[in-house]
Amino acid sequence: MKIVETTNYQEMSEKAASFLINLVKEKPNATLGMATGGTPEGMYQLLIEDYKQNGTSYKEVTTFNLDEYIGLPKEDKNSYNSYMHQALFNFINIPESQIHLPNGMNADATKECEEYEKQISRNGGIDIQILGIGENGHIGFNEPGTSFDSKTHVITLTESTRIANSRYFNSLDEVPTKAVTMGISTIMQAKKIILLASGEKKADALYQLLHNEVDESFPASILQKHPNVTIIADRDALKNI
């Protein structure tokens, strides 16, 4: 695993954006695995700036997001579909038909998961998967205890994840209790993984990611087994390493 230490959040975002921009320049039809949460927001902003200034084209790019809440229509401001459009997709030239997020409103969630997994395979897999990390070690929405063999599936969110994400909602009650997420094995099939982390509140999770035994009780520990992972994290997040 490669670790890139940055002085702060801005530099973390710049390094991450450069990775994606370089990939898209080398491989214009790249498939990008996207993440939500606060951490990648700065990186998305820089992709937009680069698009405006340098015209890096996303016309042939395909994206697959890690996860989506169950029960939020895609127009809901807290859906990850809305997040991605507001953070990035509305401002670059990617065709809507090449954007993929699970549909959290599909009445048949199991079918939705199977279909999503098939779409990723049919597409030939993911070139670069961006990941954040939950304080409890979750990646995507794969909470502690999720099988390392899991494919895209429905997950019940832990109370701590709902509390952490409640900052975007009016109240904790409004935070969905379930989500569709790429599974651990789906994530592990990505050719390259970039995990972003910023701030002291991620320091313990990063320590465990690198030093824990590889165990389902700490989902991100599986990344020790992936052949091509780069962690881009600021000094505060790496303070225990």
Phi and psi torsions of 159, nearest 5°: -60, -40
115 is catalytic: no
Q: What is the DSSP string of 50-117?
A: HHHHH----TT-EEEESEEETT--TTSTTSHHHHHHHHTGGGS---GGGEE---TT-S-HHHHHHHHH
| Residue type (1 letter), 25 | K
CA atoms within 13 A on the CB side of 153: 16
Rounded CA-CA distance 193/191 in Å is 7
Tracing tokens 């997001």 back to the chain, one arrives at 65
| Residue 85: active-site member | no
The question of whether 138 is a catalytic residue gets the answer yes
Among 6, 13, 31, 36, binds ligand GLP (CB under 6 A): 36
Q: Indicate the residue among 56 and 233 with the shorter CB distance to ligand GLP.
A: 233
Sketch the per residue contact string, 10 through 29, with ligand GLP: x for CB under 6 A, - otherwise: --------------------
Nearest approach, Cβ of residue 157 and ligand GLP (Å): 8
Identify the active-site residue in 136, 142, 165, 234: 136
Distance CA 26, CA 60 (A): 12
Strand intervals (E) in the chain:
2-6, 31-34, 62-65, 67-69, 99-100, 128-131, 153-156, 178-181, 192-197, 229-234
The nearer residue to ligand GLP, 125 or 199, going by C-beta atoms, is 199
The CA distances from residue 113 to 2, 137, 151, in Å, are 31, 22, 8
Q: Which of residues 144-173 bind ligand GLP (CB under 6 A)?
A: 161, 165
Judged by CB under 6 A, does residue 39 bind ligand GLP? yes
Using CB under 6 A as the binding rule, the residues of this chain from 100 to 129 that contact ligand GLP are none
**Catalytic: 226?**
no
Give the x/- contact pattern for ligand GLP in 130-149, rule: CB under 6 A: --xxx-----xx--------
Task: CB nearer to ligand GLP: give 64 or 141.
Answer: 141
Query: In the complex, what is the shortest distance from the CB of residue 170 to ligand GLP, in angstroms, rounded to a whole number?
Result: 18
Please say which residue, 56 or 120, places its beta carbon nearer to ligand GLP: 120
Positions marked active-site: 67, 136, 138, 143
Binding site for ligand GLP (CB under 6 A): 35-39, 66-67, 132-134, 140-141, 161, 165
